[in-house]
């Protein structure tokens, strides 16, 4: 009888642990997948805008601002996530 009670208690503890830990891990995974999706979209948008000809800009200041923005999106330290 004691064995059954101890086993039942351990199972309840284990299930409560799973209930506490799994949602946190799922939320972290969803957040990571969402950020990776946004990064992929940013890369596709950046690749599209890199193909625009220089003549698409009205003046050279817009072209310079655009190039600065593109360089900032290509920096490797901004693309790494943990």
Over residues 21-55, the pLDDT tens digits come to: 888 889 999 999 999 999 999 888 887 777 766 55
More confident residue, 41 or 78: 41
- Say what the pLDDT of residue 81 is: 47
Report the percent of the chain where pLDDT is more than 70. Answer: 70
More confident residue, 4 or 58: 4
Tell me whether residue 80 is in a domain: no
Domain count, the chain: 1
**Residue 70 pLDDT > 60:** yes
Tell me whether residue 81 is in a domain: no
Tell me whether residue 10 is in a domain: yes
Q: Domain containing 33: what range?
A: 2-73
Contact 28, 37 (CB under 8 A): no
Give the DSSP letter string of 2-57: HHHHHHHHHHHHHHHHHHHHHHHHHHHHHHHHHHHHHHHHHHHHHHHHHTS-GGGS
């Amino acid at each position: 009888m004691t064995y059954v009670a101890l086993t039942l208690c351990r199972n309840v503890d284990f299930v409560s642990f799973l209930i506490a830990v799994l949602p946190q891990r799922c939320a972290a995974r969803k957040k990571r997948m969402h950020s990776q999706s946004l990064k992929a979209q940013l890369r596709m948008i950046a690749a599209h805008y890199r193909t625009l000809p220089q003549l698409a800009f009205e003046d050279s200041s817009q072209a310079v601002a655009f190039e600065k923005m593109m360089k900032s999106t290509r920096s490797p330290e901004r693309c790494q996530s943990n």
